[in-house]
Amino acid sequence: MKDRIQITLKPLWYNNRKLVAIDFHNNESVKEYINSLEGVRYSNIYKTHYVIYRSNIINELFNYFRAKKWFVDYSAFKENNSKPKREVNYRENYKLPPLKDESLKELKSFGKWLLQKRFSKNTVHTYVEVTGLFIRYMELKQISTISSRSVEQFNYDFIFSTKKSVSYQNQCISGIKQFIAFKKLTIENIDIKRPNKDKKLPTVLSKLEVKSILDATKNLKHKTLLSLVYSAGLRIGEALNIRPDDIDTERGLIHIRSAKGRKDRYTLLAPSLVPLLQAYLNHYTPKHFLFEGRNGETYTQVSARQVLKKALRLAGIKKYATLHTLRHSFATHLLEGGTDIRYIQELLGHNSPKTTMIYTHVSSTNLSKIKNPFDNL
């Protein structure tokens, strides 16, 4: 006697839309019968047939399959069928288990593998961190193997539902894909599309605000650091990796080595910054890096952020600003001063002029030339 065919109906959520998943044991005749059903589709991500949920759909499906005298399990819809279950607030209740020793060793090897591929230290740290979260998520959900579906589940539960930023989501996807390559896994349908970043305009400080920040900073090292970041339009990682011999006072240039994309470039050394820089070098005599912490190690980004935070408070500036805001301000002030945007692109180390063009949207020079119709009323 043949085993009775069973059809299982389960709720499935995708992009905040409720679906009905139709699960069954692999059988070609059953598959044909399901595919002949109006509105049925197949999900490559969840590896299941489904239809869009609507009122009375469970009853329709039950009758459709019972016509073949198949057993239909729809118990997942019996409780509170008319109202979807409240989604878990992962931000409050989502606690991942700690990493096991075996996973910690694997992540350490993964980090070394990324370094050998010449990823930056920041990127390696981020990829290892997000991959660790993914492994812990799999442990929580008792998922034994990495698949496109497990990555999609993690993306939805841990990133989308908790309203993480688009940038963080892209970092997670990139990190997990690198981990899959590290483990030499072949996973079908892993083409997870990255969402486009929000096109937000950067915060820009006025020249007066920048001056007030520098004037409020009395510590010689702190003042030199903030002055250099602004006057050369540096990313903070670039500023902290500068060595004393990268400063060319005769040519008025600073050599930025292995910046984003592992590219070298030259940027400006402001003549008025040279006396301050020389006083700093004479007092601190750094050996390896221009800005050093304890024991000659690189000055940390955390410490640099604290320097700016204190300067903003002392200067009485309420506007939200980061160290990258100084870089944005440098570029905007150059544009307002009439510098060709192609030169600004070179100084900032942008690959595409499109990236640099964003500063045309925050420059007050172009906007000030527009005649406001209110003035003609």
pLDDT at position 107, please? 93
Q: Which residue bears the tokens 């009905």? A: 20
Phi and psi based region of residue 318 (left: phi greater than 0; alpha: psi -120 to 50; beta: remaining)? alpha
Q: Give me the amino acid identity at 55.
A: S
For 285, the token pair is: 């005599």
Q: What is the model's pLDDT at position 29?
A: 85
Q: Using the predicted structure, report yes or no on whether residue 85 has a pLDDT greater than 50.
A: no
Q: What is the pLDDT of residue 255?
A: 93
For the chain, list the domains and their CATH numbers. 6-77 (3.40.1170), 93-182 (1.10.150), 207-367 (1.10.443.10)
Q: Tokens 């963080």 identify what position?
A: 168
- pTM equals 0.56
- 166-182 and 121-140 helices, crossing angle to 10°: 80
Please say if the pLDDT value at position 150 is more than 90. Answer: no
Which of helix, strand or coil describes residue 41? strand
Please name the residues in contact with 177: beta carbons below 8 A apart, sequence gap of 6 or more: 190, 192
Centroid of chain to Cα 266 = 28
The phi, psi pair for 87, rounded to 5°, reads: -70, 145
Q: Give the pLDDT confidence of 42-77 residue by residue, as tens digits.
A: 887 778 888 888 878 888 888 888 888 888 888 888
Query: Mean pLDDT across the stretch 116-142?
Result: 88
What local confidence, expressed as pLDDT, does residue 220 receive?
96
Given a cut of 80, is residue 274 above it in pLDDT? yes
Residue with structure tokens 């409050």? Answer: 92
Tell me the one-letter amino acid at 35.
N
What CA dihedral angle connects 224, 230, 236 and 241, to 10 degrees?
-50
pLDDT > 90? residue 213: yes
Question: CB atoms < 10 A from the CB of 51, how many?
Answer: 20
Tokens 């539960």, located at residue: 157
The answer, yes or no, to whether residue 169 has pLDDT greater than 60, is yes
Question: Binning pLDDT at 50, 70 and 90, where does residue 15 land?
Answer: low
Say what the pLDDT of residue 114 is: 93
Which residues 6+ apart lie within 8 Å of 271 measured at CB? 252
Residue 178 clears pLDDT 60, i.e. is over it? yes
* Residue 109 CB contacts under 8 Å (≥ 6 apart), including other chains: 182
* Three-state secondary-structure class, residue 80: coil
Asked whether the predicted pLDDT for residue 35 surpasses 90, the reply is: no
Least confident stretch, 83-92, 161-170, 311-320: 83-92
Looking at residue 241, its amino acid is N
* Residue 73, beta-bridge partner list: 8
For residue 376, the model assigns a pLDDT of 67
* Residues labelled as active-site residues: 235, 260, 324, 327, 350, 359
Residue 81 has a pLDDT of 44
Question: Does residue 190 or residue 108 have the better pLDDT?
Answer: 108
The mean pLDDT of 115-138, rounded to a whole number, is: 88
Tens digit of pLDDT for each residue in 86-114?
433 434 345 788 888 999 999 999 999 99
Confidence of residue 196 (pLDDT cuts 50, 70, 90): low
Higher pLDDT, 159 or 90: 159
Neighbour tally for 76: CB within 10 Å: 15
Average pLDDT of every residue of the chain: 83
**CA contacts within 13 A on the Cβ side of 192:** 23
